[in-house]
């Protein structure tokens, strides 16, 4: 009898170990599957997606039923959504996201309905800002130069009387206009060889905003102007 009891305990312990290994392996394999699916979905939904990497914390059964994740990290070397600029050094860290489960499972789309505590950082090159301004206001042919703590814009403005095109340069203050856009406010402006008080022409010439639409419920937290780049930090709404 003692031998049978020891044998029964050994069988029970081995069975529990096998079940634990199967469950752990299943969770790990499913996580890898989800990470692969997320990567493919992001690639389909963006115009540029380079060096994509996902890391998901192990998911439980109720997480899957509810369509939510636990801790996750998503990074990309370069990422551009369909109507947005190229974002570089893109890193998102979140305590969890609530997905539209049906959209992901049946349509292959990532529709984020809600974010837990989240940090997103990326940078935008001055060439991307220039492209945006030239698309929005081609008549000014604007170009942007970024240096630590400073923004400078050059372009062309038409003189109203003689109808001549004159070059202009402006030192610009970059400030937050809303939860997802920045405003360019001129501090000093020069048209041709003349210094122009900002209050005279600035609002007409440089009344510009730079909206940045992300497909997730995020808002601007902070930003810094660096050499050739604008670095931004976002958080959950």
- Final residue of a domain: which of 92, 116, 140? 116
Tens digit of pLDDT for each residue in 56-115? Answer: 888 776 777 777 888 999 999 999 998 889 999 999 999 998 888 787 777 777 788 899
Residue ranges making up the domain that contains 211: 126-229
SS3 content of the chain, % helix, strand, coil (to 5): 35, 45, 20
Alpha helices for the chain (secondary structure H): 2-45, 61-66, 101-107, 126-136, 198-205
Instruction: Determine the average pLDDT of the residues in 210-222.
Output: 91
* Pair 103, 151 in one domain: no
| Proportion of the chain above pLDDT 90, given as a percent | 36
Let me know whether 69 and 140 are in one domain.
no
Buried b / exposed e along 19-35 (16+ C-beta atoms within 10 A): eeeeeeeeeeeebeebb
Query: Quick one: CA torsion of 82, 85, 87, 93, rounded to 10 degrees?
Result: -60
Q: What is the DSSP letter of 68?
A: B
Q: Domain end: 84, 116, 148, which one?
A: 116
Last residue of a domain, one of 116, 148, 175: 116
pTM of the model: 0.79
Q: How open is the CA angle 182-188-189, to the nearest 5 degrees?
A: 95
Q: Which two tokens stand for residue 15?
A: 């069975």
179-195 pLDDT, tens digit per residue, is 999 988 888 888 878 88
Same domain, 92 and 138: no
């Amino acid at each position: 009898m003692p031998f049978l009891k020891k044998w029964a305990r050994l069988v029970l312990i081995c069975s529990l170990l096998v079940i634990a290994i199967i469950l752990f392996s299943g969770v790990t394999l499913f996580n890898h599957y989800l990470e692969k699916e997320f990567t493919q979905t992001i690639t389909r939904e963006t115009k540029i997606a380079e060096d994509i990497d996902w890391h998901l914390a192990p998911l439980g059964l109720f997480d899957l039923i509810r369509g939510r994740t636990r801790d996750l990290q998503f990074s990309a070397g370069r990422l551009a959504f369909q109507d947005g600029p190229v974002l570089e050094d893109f890193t998102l860290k979140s305590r969890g996201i609530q997905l539209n489960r049906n959209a992901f499972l049946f349509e292959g789309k990532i529709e984020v309905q809600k974010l837990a505590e989240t940090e997103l950082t990326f940078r935008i090159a001055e060439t991307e800002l220039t492209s945006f301004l030239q698309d929005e206001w081609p008549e000014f042919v604007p170009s942007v130069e970024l240096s630590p703590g400073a923004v400078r814009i050059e372009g062309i403005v038409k003189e109203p009387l003689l109808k001549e095109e004159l070059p202009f340069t402006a030192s610009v203050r970059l400030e937050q206009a809303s939860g997802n856009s920045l405003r360019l406010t001129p501090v000093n402006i020069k048209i041709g060889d003349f210094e122009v008080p900002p209050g005279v022409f600035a609002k007409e010439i440089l009344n510009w905003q730079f909206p940045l639409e992300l497909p997730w419920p995020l808002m601007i937290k902070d930003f810094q102007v660096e050499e050739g780049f604008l670095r931004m930090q976002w958080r959950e709404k």
